[in-house]
Chains A and B, each alone.
Chain A
Amino acid sequence: MSRALQRREDVAGYLFMLPSLIFFVGFVIIPMFICIFTSLTSSNMNDTAMFGSFVGLENFAKLFHDEVFQKGLINTFIIVLVSVPTVCAFSLWVASAIYKLNNVALSAFRCIFYLPVVTGSVAVTVVWRWMYDNYTGILNTLLSSVGLIEKNINWLGDPKTALGCIIVILFTTSVGQPIVLYVSALGNVDTTLIEAAEVDGATDMQVFWQVKWPQMMPTTLYILVITTINSFQCFALIQLLTQGGPNHATDTVMYYIYYTAFKLTEQAGHFGYANAMGVVLAIFIGLMSAVQFRLAKEK
C-alpha cells in the first residue's frame, strides 16, 4: 500500500473508531486500571482523593484470613460447578429436540426459554420470592395440598435449601442464550456428512456424537465461557432474595464485594479491599476460561 493511502486509512480508521474508543477507554479500560491500582491501597468511599494510601499486598493477605470471603468463594464454586454442566446439557437437549420442528413451533419454544432473561432479574426474583414463601408460596401450598410435605419448608430461610433455591432461579435465567446458540449451530452442521454417515448405517446417537457434536465444539466452548462468567457473577438474585443469609449460606464473592463496598458497617465503603476481591475473582474467571479453552482444543 502506498504511503499516502496508508495515511488515509490510518486517519479514517481512527476517526471512525474515535467515538467508540472514548467510551471504551473511559468507562472500561480506565476503571480496570483503577481496580487493579486501588486493590493495593486503603481507598474507601469517603476519600476525597481518587486513591487512598498505598498498602502493597495487604488487602490480598487479608483475604486469606477472611472466613466470609472463603465461604463466598466456596459457594461461588458450588454455583458454577452445578449450573454450568446442567445449563449446557439441558440446552443441548432442548436444542436438539426443537431444531427440526417447524418454524412456528421452533420460535415459540425459543421465546419461551428466553423469556426469563427478558423478564429481568428483579421481576423474576420477586415472583420466585413469593413462590418460595414460607406461608403463602405456591411451592409449599401445592406440596402440602397433595400431601408430599407435612410441615411448610422455609425454602429461603433454611441454610440447607437456600443455595439450591438460588441455583434453580439462576438456571431458568441462564438457558435462554445457549438454546438459541445450539439451535443455530445444529442448523449449520454440514448435511453431506450426516447423509454420508446415515448411508453407512450409523444410528441417530452415533450421528449426533460422531458428526454433529465435534462440529459444534466452538459453540459449546462459547457457551461454557459465558455460562461460567454469568454464574460467577450471580448477584441480583442474592441481593434481592437472601442478602447472603441465612448464616452466609448464600454468600458469593460478587455479593461480598458489594457488601464490603457499600454495606459492611465496621469498614463501610472499603473500596480497596472490595477491589482486591474483584481482582481475585477476575483471575479465577480468566483461569477457568483458559482451562476450558485448553480442554476444548485437545478434543
Chain B
Amino acid sequence: MINESGRKKAYKVFSIIVLAILAFLFLFPLYWIVTGAFKPSADIYNTKPIWWPTEWVTRNFDNLFIKRTAPLWELAVPFGRWFSAEHKDIFFSVGPVVPAAFRWLVNTVFMAVVAMLLTCLTAAMAGYALAKKRFRGRAIVFSLIVCAMALPKQVILIPLLKEVAALRMYDNLWAVIFPTVGWPFGVFLMKQFSESIPGEILEAARVDGSSELGTFTTIVLPMVKPGIGALAIFTFINSWNDYFMQLVMLPSGNNNTIALGISTLQNDTTVDMGLLMAGAALAAIPIIIVFLIFQKYFTQGITMGAVKG
C-alpha cells in the first residue's frame, strides 16, 4: 500500500516537472518575440545565444514606424467608379499621415470589431430561432449548418474571391468581414446556449402580449449573454488572425491588416529579424491582452461549441 502511494506521489512530481518544462517551451517563442524586439542588432546576429538583451533599444520599433507611412484612413468617392477611366474607385486620403503600422492596426481593429458585432447579432437571432422556434424547414436549415461546419473553410476561399469581385468588394475590408459573419459556427454556438432558455418563460411572455422582438430583446438576450461573450471573443481573435483570408481578399496592400503588413516586412530581400520581432510583438501583444481579459468566456465558448454536437 505504501509502495502504491509512493508511486503515485512520484508520478505526480514527475508530471509537474514535465508540465513546467512544456510550459516553458510553449512560452519561449513569445519571450523570444518580446526580447528580440528590444535587442540591438549585435545581439540579434550573435552566434552565441543571447538570452537577455545586453541593452534595451527601441531601434526596431523606430524602424517599423518610420520606414513606411500611410494616411490614417481613406474614403472612396461615392460613385467614383463610374467616372474613372479604369472603373476603379477613386480614393481620397483624409486624416493625417501616420506610420503604416498604425494604419494596419486601425484596419485590423475595425475589421475584427465589425465582424464581431455582426456575427454576434445575426448568430444570437438565428440561434434563438433554431433552438426555440418550431418553424417548418428548421431541421433542414440546421443540418445544412452542421454540414457546412465540417467543410474546410479555406477550400471555398478561391470561389469566394470570384463572388466578392463580382460584388465589387474585392480588395476591401468588407471582403474579409462578410465571409467571417457567414461562417455558421456562431449560429451553432448560440443555438447550444439558447436551448437552456425555459420554454415556459417564452410562453408566459407571449400570453402577456409581448411582441416577438420584445421577447427577444428583454428575455432571450439577457439569458444568452455568456454565449454572446464567448462568441464575441472567439470571433474577434479568429478574425484578427485569419491570415489566409486576408491574404486572398486584400492583395493590393492598400488595406493591409497587421498580419499582412508583417508578412510584407518578411518579403524584403534582406530580412531584418529585429524589425520582424517588433512587428510580431505589435500584432501579438494586443490580441493576447484581449484574450487574457476574456479567457473565462473563451473557454466556455470552446466547450459549448463541442459538446452535444
* Residue positions of A touching B, CB distance < 8 A: 1, 6, 9-10, 12-17, 19-21, 23-32, 34-35, 38, 43, 50, 94, 97-98, 107, 109-124, 126-131, 133, 135-136, 138, 141-142, 145, 172, 177, 180-181, 184, 204, 218-219, 222, 225, 229, 232-233, 235-236, 239-240, 254, 257-258, 261-262, 271, 274-275, 278-279, 281-282, 285-286, 289
Would B259 and A17 count as touching, CB distance under 8 A?
A: no
Q: Is the pair B48, A141 in contact by a Cβ cutoff of 8 Å? A: yes
Known A-B contacts A126-B280, A130-B36, A222-B309; A34 and B49 likewise in contact (beta carbons under 8 Å):
no
Cβ-based interface call for B10 (8 A):
no
Q: Is the interface of B mostly helix, strand, loop or mixed?
A: helix
Residue of B16, B133, B178 touching A9 (CB-CB under 8 A): B133
Bound-state Cα–Cα, A233 to B157, Å: 12
Q: A29-B148, A109-B23, A184-B303 are in contact. Are A233 and B154 (CB under 8 A)?
A: yes
- Give the residues from 109 to 147 in chain B that come closer than 8 angstroms, CB to CB, to chain A: 118, 121-123, 125-126, 128-130, 133-136, 138, 141, 144-145
Q: How many residue pairs at the A-B interface have CB separations less than 8 Å?
A: 266
Nearest chain B CB to A217 CB, angstrom units: 12
> Are B178 and A13 within 8 A (Cβ)?
no
Residues of B within 8 A of A14 (CB): 129, 135
Pair B306/A23 contact, Cβ less than 8 Å: no
C-alpha gap A114/B26 in the complex (Å): 9
Of the candidates A28, A94, A97, A177, the one whose C-beta lies within 8 Å of that of B156 is A28
- Docked-complex contact A180 and B154, CB < 8 angstroms: no
In the complex, are the beta carbons of B280 and A27 less than 8 A apart? no
A286 touches B150 (CB 8 A): yes
Bound-state Cα–Cα, A123 to B273, Å: 12
Chain B neighbourhood of A19, CB < 8 A: 121-122, 125-126
Which residues of B are interface residues toward A (Cβ below 8 A)? 8, 15-16, 18-19, 22-23, 26-27, 29-30, 32-33, 36, 44-49, 118, 121-123, 125-126, 128-130, 133-136, 138, 141, 144-145, 148, 150-156, 158-160, 162-163, 166, 178-179, 181-184, 187, 212, 216, 237, 240-241, 243-244, 247-248, 259, 262-263, 266, 273, 276-277, 279-281, 283-284, 287-288, 291-292, 295, 299, 302-303, 306-307, 309
Give 26 A-B contacts (CB < 8 Å), ordered by A residue: A9-B134, A12-B133, A16-B126, A16-B212, A19-B126, A20-B126, A30-B163, A97-B16, A109-B19, A114-B291, A126-B279, A141-B47, A181-B306, A204-B8, A222-B309, A229-B150, A236-B243, A236-B244, A262-B248, A275-B158, A275-B159, A278-B155, A278-B159, A282-B152, A285-B150, A285-B151
